[in-house]
Amino acid sequence: MFLALALVLAAPSPDTAPPPRVIGELIELKTGTGTLYGTIDLPATLGPWPVVLFHAGSGPTDRDGNGPLVSTDCSKQLGRALASQGIAVLRIDKRGIAASAKAMPKEEDVRMESYAADAAAWVARLRKDPRFTKVGFIGHSEGSLVGLIAAREAKFDAFVSLCGPARPYQDGLRDQLKRTLSDDLYKRSDAIIAELAAGRTVKDPPKELAALFRPSVQPFLISQFKYDPAKLAAELKAPLLVVAGSTDIQVPASDAQLFAKANPKAKVVTIDEMNHVLKAAKEGNRLAQLASYYDRSLPLHPKLVPALAEFLKSSLGE
């Protein structure tokens, strides 16, 4: 999440499922500022099917779960695995990312609300498609907040927060920076975060912090810091599943309990030894997990897809 701002024919197991009947059906969404692109993974069974919109996390992460800072295929693995379970999955390139890059020519123009509006527009597109029945949402990491913001307009039929932060983003960012920066740099970063949280931009951030607080990204951070994910989850009308990984080094598993406290109807599943990129990881430290952020051959954690499929089938029907 925050790390990405700076710098996945015989009864196969769900996490190693073969490609669905249609591999990578491409879809486009026209918007006022350019075209957005995505891929739909379709089940091999006859439709219509329930469908979920999958929204990736922060930074330049594409529809497959890859980018300059990560190479995991986790989103593609998840889409194909759920399709093998009878649930269609739309995976998208966010505005400004990969194939959708031209829809946001300037970094300083993007806001959390931009992503939320796009998510609602994608859902409206899915609801018009006769191949699909109910429409759910899976938000990975920052994608969870995008969905929570979009929920009022999109009116999801089911919602999954997958390794999503429950605290305001500036709180989690402070925690991460405190673990990685010197005392002096942390104090300077803390002052910048305070200004951004107050809605004020900061000129000339220290060069050591420029990747995270460069002027062009500050408007986005200001828009992000306005929201409290747990409070938004409390307003959610759709059935809610919160999935956490016990060895997630980016969003602590304890955040899942904050969602449950805010929304008592939420179902919480903490998957033992699953990390932030949805892979098996016994140790909860960055060095031990580094390889999983760059190895596309690693499968999803074996307990992830069964947990998601059970909830989505119950909430959306097959």
Task: Return the pLDDT at 19.
Answer: 46
d(CA 246, CA 315): 25
Q: pLDDT band at 318, cuts 50/70/90?
A: low
Q: Name which of 202, 199, 181 is nearest 191 in CA terms.
A: 202
β-strand partners of 132: 49
Match 């990491």 to its residue by tokens: 141
* pLDDT for 1 beyond 60: no
Answer whether residue 13 shows pLDDT above 50: no
To which CATH superfamily is domain 13-168+227-316 assigned? Answer: Alpha/Beta hydrolase fold, catalytic domain (3.40.50.1820)
Buried b (16+ CB within 10 A) or exposed e, 86-121: bbbbbbbbbbbbbbbeebbeeeeebbbebbbbbbbb
Predicted pLDDT of residue 317:
86
Distances (CA, A) of 234 to 47, 119, 239, 240, 259: 33, 20, 11, 10, 8
At residue 3, the pLDDT reads 41
Q: What is the pLDDT of residues 289-306, one digit of tens each?
A: 999 999 999 999 999 999
What three-state secondary structure class fits 96? coil
Task: Convert the pLDDT of each residue in 199-224 to its tens digit.
Answer: 999 998 999 999 999 999 999 999 99
Average pLDDT over residues 257-276: 97
Q: What is the pLDDT of residue 23?
A: 59
- Every domain range in the chain assigned CATH 3.40.50.1820: 13-168+227-316
Question: pLDDT digits over 162-181, tens only?
Answer: 999 999 999 999 998 998 89
Check pLDDT > 60 for residue 20. Answer: no
**Would you state the pLDDT for residue 207?**
92
pLDDT score recorded for residue 69: 86
What is the pLDDT, as a whole number, of residue 105? 78
Residue 232: its H or E element: helix 229-235
To the nearest whole number, what is the mean pLDDT of the chain? 92
